[in-house]
Amino acid sequence: MKKALLLGDEAIAQAALDAGISGVYAYPGTPSTEITAYIQNSEQAKEGKVHSIWSVNEKTSMETAIGMSYAGKRALCCMKHVGLNVAMDPFVNSAITGANGGLVYLVADDPSMHSSQDEQDSRALAKFAFIPCFEPSSQQEAYDMIFEAFDLSEKMQIPVMMRITTRLAHSRAGVARREPRKQNEIKLHPNPKQFILLPAIARKQYNELLDKQPALEAASENSKYNQYIDGSDKSLGIIACGLAYNYLMENYQDEACKHPILKVSQYPLPRKAIEKITKECKEVLIIEDGYPVYEELLRGYLNQGLKVKGRLDGTLPRVGELNPNLVAKALGMPATKGEDVPALVVPRPPSLCKGCSHIDMYKALNEVMEKHGKGKVYADIGCYTLGALPPYNAIYTTLDMGAAVTMAKGAADAGLLPAVCVIGDSTFTHSGMTGLLDCVIEKTPITIIIADNSTTGMTGGQISHAYGRLEQICEGLGVEKEHIRVCTPLPKNHEELVKIIEEEIAYPGVSVVIPRRECIQTVGRPKTYN
Amino acid sequence: MKKDIILAGVGGQGILSIATIIGAAAVELGMHLKQAEVHGMSQRGGDVQSHLRISDHPIASDLIPQGKADLIISVEPMEALRYLPWLSKEGWLITSSEPFINVPNYPETENVLAEVKKVKQHVVLDAEKIAKDLGNVRAANMVILGAASPYLGIAFDKLEAAIREVFGRKGEEVVNLNLEALRAGAKIAKG
């Protein structure tokens, strides 16, 4: 069969379909979005009636995937790294309940924060939850590993993580496919009560999870994805994790590496191979495209044993994404840099699209806030975060999904008034609704601007679950009808929007202002689920 | 044969369609390919780049090492300059001369073009104007690809075939426009 040219994300999506999933569950988040998007557009998925509608947030998506696994079917749950924080409760506890049908958590990390607010390394969280983790070094490996991940999940009755990074997610390569496998039939676990985490059962299950660890370590030791490539020069041994293996090998295109190399793509670490390389070699260089998770472990808290080089001793940068040049430098190879960037080249940061409704919203908001002074607008995650940049300079905080509402409440509780927040429609249903209920209960003096562009804009225009029901949600949560104000943000309505925001700031209770105009990128696209 | 290519431009200018055509031709020739793209926040009017690697042999890294790119293909002149650290000493820089000005401190266009011309091997052309004259400014990409075609190591008819394959479902008119744009660019590169 001709190889298909697929993004890393697409290779994972195709692999999951070929491995017989019955559902994919996710909330959009760069760089993981394209996995679910691919399945939504797949004929194979339609024929197999594979569930692929977006979830409201990562927590609901993971719990739903766990429910599908409980029923005996295979489920894939995808998220960006910070999405895993939202799903942390089901994530950790599902390791304790165990899985029934194959259950894979695909987490896409973003070292260098290309499109994120941190660069946390999800491998640390797989370790924290005591579950195995795959870290592919190529699109083909990502495709193949998904099969192994589902098989391992069913064999060991445990959820399995696959950790990728932005670079693999958004890089294309040829991928050879396997024969598709049928979906599972519904089949309850012989002991369905293991899913009840009452303390008495949870204690037993937790011990069982710990008892699984030697078998998981053995699986890593026998994994074809963890390879020991011997070398004659034992002055240095190199441990390369995931994609870092490619950056290493890029530097040995013309001549073979003389040092022993341990390629690690499946965790827990293959203990015997680690013992071998550290015993045989004088020093070890460990290359991880993320946090120095395993470097720290090998080094030990007091750093009195092994000689370990990596991100912690400055051999590699402490932060950010790796690349072939940084690895070359760590190996003492000469720099290959071409000409410098001419001094006249200036940065070109991202900006709101021409004609974007958020521009009109910020123009009105800035006019109102001028007399109230700085520091009183709390924002959230989405295109409107670009309101932090000139010419708007309109917002003061962006913490996580939904925090605009709750941070504004905290500041209002402290007496810093007025408290105004800006949150998108999709972010509001993701994590803003619960904070709004907190405000309603205390009648907090707060003005919540739900900038409604009727889509999930920043990730490419996925359907927003707020669409067509925003006022009902706010009313249902207890916001007074007369303080839910809708307006169309257009230059001709500028005065109207200014007046609405002013009136609602003056009201000493909960107000919701909804400037509603569709994202100019999605105008004309149908608003249907699948 | 191995070519490492940096594609550069501004989010929304459609550099990925250039990559798609080269990629389709390379795959048809049975070559290995890796292509790192930019998705997400930067796509909103920010600088975007793609590392495209094609080779007879398996490719290790998704990213091109600095100083190793054979080509920079850019649809915007200042963006072409941003990736000079990646261009090899023998490399070619192919760029459109038409600036995309969406930042207040964009330098004087003539100074930008003067820097471009300092690169030993360069092709500079007003791809937008050529595309406009052919009937659609959106084919500027294919004009640039045509100008890069002598340096790609891929036979010209393979690129034409890739355009037919990729644009085929959009109809004959679109295919022909893009083919004409490709040829017009190639003509300029050959002088």
Question: Over B113-173, what HEC string results?
Answer: HHHHHHCCCEEEECHHHHHHHHCCHHHHHHHHHHHHHHHCCCCHHHHHHHHHHHHHHHCHH
Domains of chain A: 4-211 (3.40.50.970), 227-330 (3.40.50.920), 357-515 (3.40.50.970)
Q: Provide the 10 A C-beta neighbour count for residue A350.
A: 21
Paired with A261 in beta bridges are: A229, A238
- All residues of chain A having their beta carbon less than 8 Å from the beta carbon of residue B105 are 346
Mutate to test the interface with A, among B5, B47, B62 (most CBs of A within 10 A): B62
Categorize the per-residue pLDDT at A305 as very low, low, confident or very high, splitting at 50, 70 and 90. Answer: confident
H or E segment and range at residue A237 = strand A236-241
Chain B: residue whose CA lies nearest to A117:
B41
Q: Measured between alpha carbons, how far is A241 from A218 in angstroms, rounded to an integer?
A: 18
Please tell me the predicted confidence (pLDDT) of residue A324: 98
Which chain A residues have a beta carbon less than 8 Å from that of B67?
A: 335-338
Could you give the CA distance from residue A457 to residue A28 in angstroms, rounded to a whole number? 10
Whether B86 and B69 have beta carbons less than 8 Å apart is answered as: yes
Question: Which pTM was predicted?
Answer: 0.96
- What pLDDT sits at residue A364? 98
3-state secondary structure of A366: helix
Length of chain A: 530
Q: What is the mean pLDDT of residues A127-138?
A: 98
Nearest by CB to residue A341, choosing from B35, B43, B84, is: B84
Of residues B27, B44, B115, nearest to A353 (C-beta): B44
Contact A11, A143 (CB under 8 A): yes
Residue A390 distance to chain B (closest CA, Å): 10
Establish whether this prediction's ipTM goes over 0.90: yes
pLDDT digits over A56-104, tens only?
999 999 999 999 999 999 999 999 999 999 999 999 999 999 999 999 9
Report residue A22's pLDDT band, with 50, 70 and 90 as the boundaries: very high
Of the candidates A400, A115, A399, A456, the residue with the CA atom closest to the CA atom of residue B41: A115
pLDDT band of residue A229 (cuts 50, 70, 90) is very high
Give the tens place of pLDDT for each residue, B3-33.
Answer: 999 999 998 787 888 999 999 999 889 999 9
Which residue in the set B33, B38, B102 is minimally distant from A173, CB to CB?
B33
One-letter amino acid at A512 equals V
Q: How many other C-beta atoms can be found within 10 angstroms of the C-beta atom of residue A390?
A: 9
Count Cβ–Cβ pairs < 8 Å, chain A vs chain B. 154
Q: Can you tell me whether residue A477 is helix, strand or coil?
A: helix
Tell me the pLDDT tens digit for each residue of B116-147.
999 999 999 999 999 999 999 999 999 999 99
Beta strands in A278-419 (DSSP E): 283-287, 308-309, 377-378
Give the helix, strand, coil percentages of chain B, each rounded to 5: 50, 25, 30
State whether B44 and A386 contact (CB < 8 Å).
Answer: yes
Chain A residues whose beta carbon lies within 8 Å of the beta carbon of residue B29? none
Q: Does B99 touch chain A (CB under 8 A)?
A: no
Predicted local confidence at residue A2, as pLDDT = 73
Strands (DSSP E) contained in A136-232 are 160-165, 171-175, 227-229
CA pair distance A30, B84, nearest whole angstrom: 28
Q: What is the mean pLDDT of chain B?
A: 94
Q: Between residues 71 and 90 of chain B, which touch chain A (CB distance below 8 Å)?
A: 78-79, 81-82, 84-89
Q: What domains appear along chain B, each with residue ranges and CATH number?
A: 2-98+108-189 (3.40.920.10)
Q: Find out whether A160 and A149 touch, Cβ atoms under 8 Å.
A: yes
Q: In Å, how far are A369, A450, A507 from A501, measured between CA atoms?
A: 9, 12, 10
